[in-house]
Structure 1
Amino acid sequence: MKIVTFTTLFPNQVRPSHGIFVETRLRHLVASGAVSSRVVAPVPWFPFRHQRFGRYGDFARVPATENRHGLDVVHPRYPVVPKVGMNLAPAMLAQGARGALARLIDEGHDFDLIDAHYFYPDGVAAVQLGRYFNKPVVITARGSDISLIPRHPVPRRLIQWAAANAAHVITVCDALKTELGVLGADPARITPLRNGVDLEHFRPADREPIRARLALEGFTLLSVGHLVPLKGHDLVVGALPLLPDATLMIAGDGPERPRLESLARELGVEQRVRFLGVVSQPELADYYNAADVLVLASSREGWANVLLEAMACGTPVVASRVWGTPEVVASDAAGILMEERSARGVADGVRLLRAGGIDRAATRRYAEGFSWEATTDGQLRLFSRIMQR
């Protein structure tokens, strides 16, 4: 079976961790031997490559083509119009990518199906392209594309149209399937297929040498994610005065960093907070192993991969009770769901977890139930049914 994976959420040379969960799922699918894929991962057009232009300069530095882990990836450009661009984005995205898909056909990859990730604008654009090339489209809903974007009237209507005209929809958790049903999508045409975790890369290691190398002492919390408000890093920093013996590592970068540093100073805990900046996937396993608890205080999550990555390293979690997270943290061995999403809720969750005793071996055993095999099998069955139909 030949497919095209279509998404703006895909790693590249400039942003190697961007959308890595999409790449990981695809690599496991291709490894089955039943599917070959080409990746079309559009990026916004921008004329200047200099770093002083921030993320737009990053877009300009993304190569036109690259190969990642044996996957051929093309990065066509599409225009982004400030302020009004949200409503126009699917049409712009489809127009920018049409030539890339046509070239794939000309080069011998006459694909059977478009595998799209993220509903808006990617999924909407994919359905438009599917109609143009007369190919079925499967869209994977991943989180804020369904939990947040439909609050805007035009994107909401386009998401509803795409759901009605796609061959099938995949969600990464049951909560997103329920929300799509609220939006009017047919539940019979929606299949939840959760993300898995790489159990070989994320696995328990000898913690003491790692902690010594990282100069860690005492009880250590870890918070991972882009430094933006929805990730709730401020709540974890705010919990430190209530956890006087705990230190905190924050992995990630983003616009919230100055505010978080200021908050730590205001609370008098700046000596107990370490900002790690961007941490690569290979390095993350060490930080998960070094930590005693991972805290994820997000206001929304589809399926938070960091939870499973930490658990696979034997590190239990304290997490907010939002969207798909209760489906991930579904056992005492996994960790604790906060009673309230607040600094006190974080502190109470950490104290409750410590009081019950931390069994890192049990946490690892729990994570072993989340391999990628079931997800790959589910995709293959679904894609085969669509091809037969």
Structure 2
Amino acid sequence: MRVLHVITGLGTGGAEQQLAALVRRLPAHGDIVCDVITLTNPGAVADRLRADGVRVGHLGMAGNRDLAALPRLTRAIRRGRYDVVHTHLYRAGVYGRIAARAAGVRAVVATEHSLGEERIEGRPLTAPTRGLYLATERLGHATVAVSAAVARRLRQWGVPAERLHVVPNGIEPTRYRCGPSARRGTRARLGIAPDAFVVAGVGRLVPGKRFDQLVRAVAAVPTAVLVLVGDGPERARLLRLAAGSGAARPVRFLGDRSAEEVPTLLAACDALVSPSREETFGLAVLEGLAAGLPVLHASCPALEELPADHAPGAARFDGGLPELTTALRALAAAGPVRLPQPRAVRHYDIGRAAESLTEIYRRTAARAAATAGGTR
């Protein structure tokens, strides 16, 4: 089975990292060959995919209204003679569904990675945005939500329940088992003292992630250092906030890092905090748990959809600064610990996601073939 993944960009965001991990695992669940086309920004994840032997194309799309990209994408799909086209992220979903149907591919799957109550992929959710999404969703056969929360929102929009599938994001748990030498080495490279209490924040530096609360909370905890992994438009404001917070210890802004680097960076930390009040899954929380860290989170559908005993190392807080500061002070006073990987991490193994998607591909392709009388 030949599958083409179409994604808006291949920078180091969560959806992009998920795609790379899935493409690595999908062939293990059947005779599946994956290619990838990015509409824009063939960044670090494109390099990672190529290193894994995946063919990556770049459409060179100039913007949301670059309609000339549509015939280029249609031709690429037709040339590849793909059995399934799988789109990721909003823009790729709109253009990819149209191009797939124009190219004669009837088995079209789309994953919705980041749909909140009022925002989609960090941008305000408007009536025209939702209208265009729903109009093109009808051209597909299956829509995948990364959590039950996202599936619920899509049903509220009017996406038919029979086309909706929940396939949670996943991680590769074994990659996060780093020993004491990784902790010492990473701290030495970052210039962090061995006895410092190190707090991690992982994600895009955008307002919705509320990393400003984390900067303020860490500044109020003696011996604490904050390590922020990610980049985005809030970087300059967070830098100014850190400089004026009165903290004697600087915040380490590490920028975007590859998926391969994140486990060793977390090995240097003592806790992970996810202060965002609205998440569609909560991948960073799972990464922290996989690394054996105590985790504080304001929102994490991945854990909220599991029994509480699946993640004993995670604690939810209300998102307020006083509660977060108190919780961090308690963790710092308790001293560094390394917890065993909880059941939640095993539940969200990337292999399970790949297996579920393989089954969706097969069913979707069979249904499309039956609808077309067995011909493309």
Alignment TM-score > 0.5, same fold: yes
For residues 279-301 of structure 1, the C-alpha deviation after alignment (integer angstroms, 9 at most, x for no partner) is 33332212211111111112432
- Give the match for residue 184 of structure 2: 209
Letter of the aligned partner of 2:222 in structure 1? Answer: P
The TM-score with structure 2 as length reference comes to 0.83
Structure 2: how far apart are the matches of 1:146 and 1:137?
A: 25
Aligned partner of 2:127 in structure 1 is 153
Note if 1:76 corresponds to 2:46: no
1:314 and 1:360 in contact (8 A); partners too: yes
The superposition leaves residues 288-334 of structure 1 with CA deviations (integer Å, 9 ceiling, x where unpaired) of 11111111112432223222222211112111225556347954524
* Secondary structure of 1:378 counterpart: helix
Cα shift at 1:353: 5.8
The whole-number CA distance in structure 1 between the counterparts of 2:306 and 2:38 is 28
Q: Distance in 1 between matches of 2:362 and 2:166?
A: 17
The Cα of 1:63 is off from its aligned counterpart by 9.4
The answer as to whether partners of 1:302 and 1:325 remain within 8 angstroms in 2 is: no
Question: Shift in Å at residue 233 of structure 1?
Answer: 1.4
Q: How does 1:307-326 map to 2 (within 5 A)?
A: 307-321=285-299, 324=302, 326=304
Name the SS of the counterpart of 2:36 in structure 1. Answer: strand
Residue identity matched to 1:236: L
The runs of 5 or more residues in structure 2 that have no matched partner are 368-376
State how far apart, in whole Å, the 2-side matches of 1:199 and 1:146 are.
Answer: 30
Distance 2:252 2:62 in 1: 38
* 1:307 counterpart letter in structure 2: V
- Pair 1:102 & 2:62 matched: no
Partner of 1:49: none
Write out aligned runs for 1:325-336 (5 A): 326-327=304-305, 330=308, 331-336=310-315
2:226 alignment partner in structure 1: 248
Structure 1 match to 2:85: 114
Q: Which of 25, 28, 34 is residue 28 of structure 1 equivalent to?
A: 25
Is 1:141 aligned to 2:115, yes or no?
A: no
- Counterpart check, 1:127 vs 2:97: yes
1:280 corresponds to 2:254: no
Structure 1 distance, partners of 2:151, 2:10, is: 23
What is the rounded CA distance, in whole Å, between the counterparts of 1:198 and 1:247 in structure 2? Answer: 27
Could you list the runs of 5+ residues in structure 1 that have no partner in the other structure? 45-57, 105-109
Which of 174, 191, 204 is residue 226 of structure 1 equivalent to?
204
Matched-pair contact (CA < 8 Å) for 1:228–1:255? yes
* SS class of match (1:301): coil
Mapped partners of 1:255, 1:363: distance in 2: 33
The answer on whether the counterparts of 1:2 and 1:111 sit within 8 Å (CA) in structure 2 is: yes
Do the aligned residues in 1 keep the contact of 2:270 with 2:337 (CA within 8 Å)? no
Is 1:185 the counterpart of 2:159? The answer is yes
Tell whether 2:5 aligns with 1:8.
no
* Residues 332, 102 of structure 1: alpha-carbon distance in 2 compared, 3 angstrom cutoff: closer
CA distance in 1, matches of 2:307, 2:216: 23
Matching of residue 289 in structure 1 with residue 267 in structure 2: yes
How far, CA to CA, are the matches of 2:261 and 2:179 in structure 1?
13
Partner of 1:264, secondary structure, is helix
Report the equivalent of 1:54. none
8 Å contact kept, 1:201–1:285: yes
Q: Which amino acid aligns with 2:3?
A: I
Q: CA deviation at 1:164?
A: 2.9
Q: Can you list the C-alpha shifts for 1:62-104, whole angstroms capped at 9, x where unaligned? A: 999x834111111112232xxxx4xx36x55433422322332
CA distance in 2, matches of 1:146, 1:173: 14
- Structure with larger RCO (C-alpha < 8 A, sep 6+): 2
Whether the 8 Å CA contact 1:177–1:190 is kept in 2: the answer is yes
The code of the aligned residue for 2:164 comes to I
**How far did residue 211 of structure 1 move?**
5.9
1:198 aligns with 2:181: no
CA distance in 2, matches of 1:289, 1:159: 40
Residue 166 (str. 1) matches residue 136 (str. 2):
no
Alpha carbons of 1:157 and 1:187: their partners in 2 closer, same or farther (altered >3 Å)? same
| Matched residue SS, 1:368 | helix
Is the CA contact 1:77–1:96 (under 8 Å) kept in the aligned structure 2?
A: no
